[in-house]
Amino acid sequence: MKVALVTGGNGGIGSSICAALADKGYKVAGGYYPADKENAEAWEAEMRANGKDVTAVAGDVSNYTSCEAMIANVESELGPIEVLVNCAGITRDTTFKKMSPEQWGSVLQTNLDSAFNVTRPVINQMLERGSGRIVNVSSVNGQRGQFGQANYSAAKAGLHGFTMALAQETARKGITVNTISPGYISTPMTQAMPENVLEAIVNSVPMGRMGEPEEIASAVSWLVDERSAYITGANIPVNGGLFMSA
């Protein structure tokens, strides 16, 4: 049975990705921030109660040493990682003129540096095996920018640059590297927004609704499928028409 690692696995989108990959027959490791251990353990229990082969694993994606330890733990307990989904992310929103170095740095470290920190320890084994799937979860705001999100937009745009470069380096070795850029997705975090803000978001989307986490998970499942072996370096938008490009 193949192994998949999903960072930010116990989040709104990450949880749906974990469930979808478990349904495809993967043993799934769902990464979580170490301080969130209690919630992560409850999440793991709920996933297993629903028949999902999911294991919660601790790791600070902003710290390379922590990521090395997390991946060594996954490989020791579950086996070599065949699928990696870099889904962990945070926001620290404010206008650029008010943005502190901490607000900038923390978002870049968690949303962009993490792609290096988590991918670097697994890439050599993928290259040696001649197979592997890497999916980086970016954002529509990495494609179009967003007021008050200079840090987040920069990190998410950088994530696809990382995808394209790594895709070129690994394509001949049977590894695919792709990006998914979600639009506004209905998660506990977005549902906690004021009603007028939610209404404005929905009104800006041509489809007239927010996306569902399962729709992002479906795109991930498609990209990691064996039949998607000729897709690499792509950025797949899942945004209800909010941003379109040639």
pTM: 0.97
Q: What is the mean pLDDT of residues 215-238?
A: 98
Assign domain 3-238 to its CATH architecture: 3-Layer(aba) Sandwich (3.40)
Give 104-162 as a DSSP string. Answer: HHHHHIIIIIHHHHHHHHHHHHHHHHT-EEEEEE--HHHHH--TT-HHHHHHHHHHHHH
What are the extents of the domains in the chain? 3-238
Residue 129 CA, chain-centre distance (Å), reads: 23
Between strands 3-6 and 81-86, the pairing is parallel
In tens, the pLDDT along 113-154 reads: 999 999 999 999 999 999 999 999 999 999 999 999 999 999
pLDDT surpasses 90 at 223 = yes
Q: Which of 32, 33, 152, 184 is catalytic?
A: 152
* Token pair recorded at residue 232: 């690499």
Could you give the CA distance from residue 42 to residue 54 in angstroms, rounded to a whole number?
Answer: 12
pLDDT tens-place string over residues 8-49:
999 999 999 999 999 999 999 999 999 999 999 999 999 999
In a 3-state reduction of DSSP, which class is residue 222?
Answer: helix
- Asked if residue 68 lies in contact with residue 121, where contact means CB atoms within 8 angstroms, the answer is yes
Active site residue 152: yes
Q: Is-contact 57 29, C-beta < 8 A?
A: yes
pLDDT tens string 159-204 = 999 999 999 999 999 999 999 999 999 998 788 888 998 899 999 9
102-116 per-position pLDDT tens digit: 999 999 999 999 999
pLDDT value at residue 52: 98
The Cα 202–Cα 22 span in angstroms is 31
CA nearest 123: which of 92, 166, 91?
A: 166
Distance CA 50, CA 19 (A): 9
Query: Average pLDDT over the chain, rounded to whole?
Result: 97
32: left (phi over 0), alpha (psi -120 to 50) or beta: beta
Q: What is the pLDDT of residue 194?
A: 86
